[in-house]
Amino acid sequence: MPKRVKVMRMSVEQPLWRALTAYRVLTMLYALGFFLSAYGDFRRPGVAIGYFAVLVVWTLATLPRVAGAAHCTKPFLAVDLTVALTGILLTPVADAHQRVVEGGPTLPSIWTAGSVLAFAVKGGWRWAAFASTLVAAANLVERGAPTRDTLHNVVLVWVAAIAIGYVVEVARASERTLARALEIEAANRERERLARDIHDGVLQVLAMVQRRGTALGGEAAELGRMAGEQEVALRSLVTGGPSPVSRLSEDAAEGAFVRLVQEPDEGADEAAGAESGAGSGPHGPVDLRSLLAPHTGARVTLSDPGAPVPLPPAAAREVAAAVGAALDNVRLHAGDAARAWILVEDEPDEIVVTVRDDGPGVPEGRLAQAEGEGRLGVAQSIRGRLRDLGGTAELLSVPGQGTEVELRLPKDAPDTGAGARDVRGKAGRR
Amino acid sequence: MNDRRDTHDTHGGAGERGAGERGVGEGGGRIRVMVVDDHPMWRDAVARDLAESGFDVVATAADGEQAVRRAMAAAPDVLVLDLNLPAKPGVQVCKELVGARPALRVLVLSASGEHADVLEAVKSGATGYLVKSASTEELVDAVRRTAAGDPVFTPGLAGLVLGEYRRLAADPAPVPDAGDAARAPRLTERETEVLRLVAKGLSYKQIAERLVISHRTVQNHVQNTLGKLQLHNRVELVRYAIERGLDGS
């Protein structure tokens, strides 16, 4: 695994700058070719030659300027636009009057668009609107009178420049969003990696304190006991707890928009789960293990299959509540010193959860007697919960080996909605 | 998920045996132990405890690569292995060393109990698992029993192994007519019964009482569950290698 995760910035803007560089060179050659092909028509070819000399030198010398946003400075843009405008305004001086009136090309012709595009790519649609307005004005001045063709061209440049400027802004925003999402993800992963290492270290120290403290006895033993409790708490947090959100951003302009979402409260959720029946509502299945983990502690051990045990939220909560009731029962009847084990089994056709304690157990006959008298209390409520889910709860007591409560929840029960998995599991097993 | 107290249930606990020279193996010689842990504090404490109990601590190592090198040279009987190691993960160390020296016994001693890792280590040859909050007594007893070839199970590990068998059964092998060994291993009803009782925190003695079988039989059942899993893992590896080899030629 890599030690650090680097955030790679993928640029959606860079291709635009490359295209602009190519565009400027190609349009320069185009304008030059156009001039040479019509050389004979020019009134003052010297002016045109002088202008094109400047244009070629300027275009080639400033190629690095349009290679990226950092080099494309405001002064450069201003000079660039001036070159374009000068070319447009020089056209009537250099070219034949007839050609100018008929709507012939200006000296820089479509090279001008490159200048406007630079504004658009650099500063978005507002800058593009500003530059194309100036170009439009210069064009109108050059023609002398606004013909339909001229207006047509001017509006075209104007709309295209603004559209491109807008697209660039959108692309930049989505690039920022992506970069920010990647940063958050990388930060999360790094945090989790650090947390794993730190937790491992802290767990080691706590276990050590507990071990040594117990060996030393007396006050140290008490310290050891406390360290042991903290170790349990930390470990269930590490293995089960959801990771908290690291930082929140409410700034949509900065890209990612992160907000803590209030989970619907339990009652509402339960109602929703009951209505939709199969738990196919907005909430997917939950891992039963994560609901049982909070029950574990110094005296309660959880043994699970090492993989998620998915159950619809309502059913999972009911099972977890039944386990909680069983553990309460253990404390009530076997005392605080009794220890308990929870075993979760994900069978092909049912989920089996067993809660066993190491208490004295219930003598033979007492159980049936108590049940007959309806004095089973907590056990009765456990049974009720499971019956509602289509499952069963068995109470088993072996003298000297404590009491076991075995909860069985069939997967094809209407409330569990795990039928599809069930079929596959059976086929594989039998 | 949380098996800190597992340690108290490692079966046939030290209390059942006399104190004295627990570091002496069945053959009479001292058991050679190597301790691998990246935390010096832990490594030293474990090594000292084991040495005081009569074990011969032949080497220690602070990272995975060091562990592999030194274990090859020192030839210990038992490797007490932390899974969270720098340079090379503990699971990989276990794989390489057991592959090179099948007689080596590995006892995993883990702090955070990362389940996937523990299961992987057990499949690749480790025969014992203990969380670090185990007492010195439990550790010493676990090392002695690991050296004797008895699996050291915790309820948490039993739950994992049960889950693994269930996953293997639900995921049939891609080649239906493959040999017996290639087919997904199954637990017998008795083995499942025993493993479930271990997962529910019963001691071997209690299990033997409940099923009316001998302590030794319980141990054999538990050992078989691990053995089949490890055999299947090796067969899978070989099959994978053959498939790759044939594809490549």
- Calculate what percentage of chain B has a pLDDT beyond 90: 34
Say whether both B145 and B171 belong to one domain: no
Query: Encoding tokens for residue A267?
Result: 């009652």
Average pLDDT over residues A187-214: 79
Chain A residues 333-352 within an 8 A CB cutoff of chain B: 339-341, 343-348
Instruction: State which of A313-322, A419-428, B8-17, B106-115 shows the largest mean pLDDT.
Output: A313-322
The C-alpha atoms of residue B71 and residue B42 are separated, in whole angstroms, by: 19
Residues 6 or more apart whose CB falls under 8 angstroms from that of A323 comprise A292, A295, A342, A353, A355, A407
Res A236: pLDDT:
67
Q: What pLDDT does B97 receive? A: 92
Specify whether the CB–CB gap between A378 and A332 falls below 8 A.
yes
Confidence at residue B24, expressed as pLDDT on a 0 to 100 scale: 62
Q: Chain A contact for B112, CB < 8 A?
A: yes
Q: Do B210 and A398 touch (CB under 8 A)?
A: yes
The reported pTM is 0.59
Compute the distance between CA of residue A396 and CA of residue A356 in angstroms, rounded to an integer: 9
What count of CB pairs under 8 Å joins A to B? Answer: 155
- Residue A367, pLDDT score: 61
Q: Which of A139-153, A301-315, B2-16 has the highest mean pLDDT?
A: A301-315
- Domain ranges, residue B233: 157-248
Q: What is the pLDDT of residues A295-304, one digit of tens each?
A: 887 788 888 8
Considering the domain architecture, whether residues B130 and B194 belong to the same structural domain is answered as no
Residues B141 and B170 in one domain: no
Rounded CA gap, A70 and B59, in Å?
60
* A429 in B contact zone (CB under 8 Å): yes
Does A354 reach chain B within 8 Å, measured CB to CB? yes
Mark whether B127 and B105 lie in a shared domain: yes
Residue A273 is predicted with a pLDDT of 38
Residue A425: pLDDT above 80?
no
End residue of a domain, out of B99, B120, B152:
B152
- Give the number of other CB atoms < 10 A from CB of residue A366: 11
Which positions in chain A touch B135 (Cβ < 8 Å)? 211, 214-215
Confidence at residue B196, expressed as pLDDT on a 0 to 100 scale? 94
Q: CA torsion A313→A319→A320→A322, rounded to 10°?
A: 150
pLDDT for residue A328: 83
Among candidates B111, B155, B210 on the partner chain, residue whose Cβ is nearest the Cβ of A341: B155
A200 in B contact zone (CB under 8 Å)? yes
Residue of chain A with shortest Cα separation from B115: A306
Residues of A in contact with B2 (CB under 8 A): 232, 235-236, 239, 293, 296-297, 300-302
Say which range, A67-76, A265-274, B189-198, has the weakest mean pLDDT: A265-274
How many Cα atoms within 13 Å fall on the side-chain side of residue B12?
A: 20
Q: Which among A203, A208, A356 is the nearest to B201, CB-wise?
A: A356
- The pLDDT of residue A353 is 94
Q: What is the pLDDT of residue A210?
A: 83
Q: Which of B3, B4, B198 to mutate to test the interface with A (most CBs of A within 10 A)?
A: B4
Q: What b/e sequence results for A200-234 when a residue is b if at least 16 CB atoms lie within 10 Å of its CB, and e otherwise?
A: bebbbbbbbbbbbbbeeeeeeeebbeebbeebbbb
Rounded Cα distance, B108 and A16, in Å:
58
Percent of chain A with pLDDT over 90: 14
> The domain that contains B96 carries what CATH number?
3.40.50.2300
Per DSSP, B110 falls in state: E
A414 contacts chain B (CB < 8 A) = no
Kindly determine whether residue A306 and residue B164, on different chains, have CB atoms separated by under 8 Å.
yes
**In the prediction, which pLDDT does B149 show?**
86
DSSP, collapsed to helix, strand or coil, labels residue B146 as helix
Identify whether residues B27 and B103 lie together within a single domain.
yes
pLDDT exceeding 70 applies to what percent of chain A? 77
Domain shared by B101 and B215, yes or no: no
For chain B, say whether A216 makes contact (Cβ under 8 Å): no
**What is the pLDDT at residue B28?**
61
Which domains occur in chain A, in start order? 8-261 (no CATH), 265-430 (3.30.565.10)
Are residues B40 and B68 both part of a single domain? yes
Reported as a pLDDT band with limits 50, 70 and 90, residue A188 is confident
Are the beta carbons of A207 and B132 separated by less than 8 Å? yes
- Best probe of the B interface among A300, A341, A342, A344, by most B CBs < 10 A, is A341
Q: What's the pLDDT score for residue A376?
A: 56
Q: Give the mean model confidence (pLDDT) for residues B19-46.
A: 77
Is the pLDDT confidence value at B6 over 50? Answer: no
CA distances from A383 to A86, A351, A402, A406, A409 (A): 92, 15, 19, 10, 11
Q: How many residues comprise chain A?
A: 430
Q: What is the pLDDT of residue B9?
A: 44
Given CB atoms, is B162 within the 8 Å cutoff of chain A?
yes
Could you tell me the two tokens for B30? 């001292």
User: Hey, what are B141's tokens?
Assistant: 């007893």
Q: How many domains does chain B have?
A: 2
Q: How confident is the model at residue B5, as a pLDDT?
A: 40
pLDDT for A56 equals 93
Residues B67 and B170 occupy one common structural domain:
no
Q: Does B62 touch chain A (CB under 8 A)?
A: no
B128 and B206 assigned to the same domain: no
pLDDT score, position B140: 92
How many CA atoms are closer than 13 Å to the CA of A191, on its beta-carbon side? 12
* pLDDT tier for residue A14 given thresholds of 50, 70 and 90: confident
Higher-pLDDT residue of A191, A300: A300
Cβ of B112 within 8 Å of Cβ of A298? The answer is no
Same domain, B110 and B148: yes
pLDDT per position as a tens digit, A229-249: 787 777 766 655 443 333 444
Q: How much is the pLDDT for A271?
A: 39
Do B127 and B17 belong to one domain? yes
The pLDDT value recorded for residue A109 is 84
Average pLDDT of chain A is 77
Non-local CB neighbours of B200 within 8 Å, separated by 6+ positions? A303, A341, A343, A354, A356, A404, B155
For the ranges A154-163, A278-287, A377-386, B173-182, the maximum mean pLDDT occurs at A154-163
Residues B162 and B105 in one domain: no
Please tell me which of the candidates B1, B159, B170 has its beta carbon nearest to residue A425: B170
Chain A residues whose CB is inside 8 A of the B45 CB are 208, 211-212
B109 contacts B122 by C-beta, under 8 angstroms: no
How would DSSP label each residue in A261-318?
-PPPPHHHHHHHHHHHSSS-SSS--EEHHHHHGGG-BTTEEEE--SS--EE-HHHHHH
> CATH no. for residue B204?
1.10.10.10
Rounded-to-integer distance, Cα B42 and Cα B58, Å: 16
**Domain-terminating residue out of B119, B152, B185:** B152
Half-sphere exposure of A276 (CA within 13 A, CB side): 19
- The answer, yes or no, to whether residue A272 has pLDDT greater than 60, is no
Structure tokens at A3: 């030690």
B179: confidence class by pLDDT, cuts 50, 70, 90: low
Contacting A residues, span 2-61, partner chain B, CB-CB under 8 Å:
none
pLDDT digits (tens, 9 = 90+) for B119-176: 888 888 898 898 887 778 889 999 999 998 888 888 888 998 999 898 888 876 555 4
Long-range contact pairs involving A216-220 (C-beta distance under 8 Å, separation at least 24): none
Query: Could you tell me the pLDDT band of residue B249, with boundaries at 50, 70 and 90?
Result: very low
C-beta contacts of B211-220 below 8 A and 24+ residues apart: B215/B12, B218/B194, B219/B12, B219/B150, B219/B151
Other Cβ atoms less than 10 A from the Cβ of A197: the count is 11
**Structure-model confidence comparison of residues A233 and A325, the more confident one:** A325
For an interface test with A, the pick among B133, B165, B189 (most A C-beta atoms closer than 10 Å) comes out as: B133
- Mean pLDDT, to the nearest integer, of A344-364? 85
Q: How far is A300 from chain B (nearest CA, A)?
A: 8
Domain boundary among B132, B152, B172: B152
